[in-house]
């Protein structure tokens, strides 16, 4: 049984779709179907209930999914170990990142890292902070990058840069004409929130509560699952929001939104790399942590 067939099975399970799995694996959909059929014939069971393009696991599929993930993890570990014995920095480096570092910062940083270590195959998954922590604890990724401090005994945090949250609003919003904005001004309009579990949401709530603001005094607004959807909603005049300055640099340059600081609250925050305190880390992950210590972030800040 080839390990690639197990990887196809696991990808179909996690994407709940043959076509999405095919896109991720750079396979044709018939090839993905063939892999699944080979597995089912080998074990003489059905692993999936099929409903058009969507699939869900049978009881046998649920059991085999957990076993397949463990086999793949051990195989990847074995490959990494053998490569390290050869002295090379290579293999698969699995990174999970929350939205701001994952979409706006890491692509630049990892591009430079890849030039130095071209034999490393980087896999980057983006989710909210709570998802990234779960993936780390389940050993599904080697390193996490998040926008809020995480306290877990099994995890170690390494600060790598500073971020700042800013207030964004449409250009014709009444607050856009004010020279200075204060936290009390947030009461004047619907505040659009990130979903619970995101690092940005956690930081905003902590900062506002620290300044004595009761969160239930804010006008109930939208709660959206991505920073980009929030920016679009603000552009459409649906409210105001607090987002990372990284996320609105282009909109600010194009004058599509008005970006303001809040005078009486410091909305600066640290971004962190998270990694297991005791778990084995491949050489590629250790090389990345070392790379961060040398990486000059200033040109990146100026060019974005």
Residue 213 has pLDDT above 90, yes or no: no
- Give the pLDDT confidence of 177-210 residue by residue, as tens digits: 898 998 888 877 788 988 887 878 888 888 888 8
Q: Are 227 and 147 in contact (CB under 8 A)?
A: no
- Give the pLDDT confidence of 77-89 residue by residue, as tens digits: 787 777 666 667 8
Give the closest residue to 4 by CA, choosing from 19, 20, 15, 21.
21
Q: Sign of the CA dihedral 210, 211, 215, 220?
A: negative
Structure confidence at residue 23 (pLDDT)? 86
Residue 136 has pLDDT above 80, yes or no: yes
pLDDT-wise least confident of 121-125, 175-179, 182-186, 226-230: 182-186
Kindly report the number of other CB atoms within 10 A of residue 158's CB atom.
13
- Residues 161-182 have a mean pLDDT of 91
What's the token pair of residue 3? 């390990």
Residue 231 has pLDDT above 90, yes or no: yes
Give the domain ranges of the chain.
Answer: 1-84, 164-267
Class of domain 1-84: mainly alpha
Do β-strands 240-244 and 155-169 pair in parallel, antiparallel, or remain unpaired? Answer: antiparallel
DSSP 9-54: HHHHHHHTBHHHHHHHHT--HHHHHHHHHHHHHHHTS--EEEETTE
Q: What is the CATH number of domain 164-267?
A: 3.40.190.10
CA 293, 297, 302 angle in degrees (round to 5)?
175
What lies within 8 Å, CB to CB, of 26 at 6+ separation is: none
């Amino acid at each position: 049984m080839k390990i690639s067939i197990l990887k196809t099975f696991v990808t179909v399970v996690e994407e709940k779709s043959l076509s999405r799995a095919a896109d991720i694996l750079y396979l044709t959909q018939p090839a993905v179907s063939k892999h699944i059929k080979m597995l089912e014939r080998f074990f003489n069971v059905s692993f999936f209930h099929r409903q058009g393009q969507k699939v869900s696991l049978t009881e046998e599929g649920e059991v085999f999914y957990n076993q397949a993930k463990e086999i793949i993890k051990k195989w990847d570990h074995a490959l990494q170990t053998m490569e390290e014995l050869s002295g090379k920095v290579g293999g698969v480096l699995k990174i999970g990142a929350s939205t701001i570092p994952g979409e706006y910062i890491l692509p630049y940083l990892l591009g430079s890292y890849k030039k130095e270590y071209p034999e490393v195959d980087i896999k980057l998954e983006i989710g909210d902070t709570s998802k990234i922590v779960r993936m780390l604890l389940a050993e599904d990724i080697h390193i996490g990058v998040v926008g809020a401090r995480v306290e877990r005994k099994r995890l170690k945090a390494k600060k790598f840069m500073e971020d700042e949250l800013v207030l964004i609003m449409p250009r014709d919003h009444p607050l856009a004409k004010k020279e200075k904005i204060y936290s009390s001004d947030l009461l004047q309009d619907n505040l659009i929130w990130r979903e619970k579990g995101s690092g940005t949401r956690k930081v905003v709530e902590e900062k506002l509560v620290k300044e004595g603001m009761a969160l239930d005094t804010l006008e109930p607004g939208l709660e959206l699952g991505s920073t980009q959807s929030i920016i679009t909603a603000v552009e459409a005049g649906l409210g105001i929001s607090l987002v990372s300055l990284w996320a609105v640099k282009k909109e600010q340059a194009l004058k599509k939104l008005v970006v303001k600081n809040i005078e009486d609250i410091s909305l600066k925050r640290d971004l962190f790399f998270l990694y297991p305190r005791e778990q084995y880390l491949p050489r590629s992950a250790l090389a990345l942590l070392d790379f961060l210590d040398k990486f000059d972030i200033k040109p990146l800040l100026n060019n974005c």
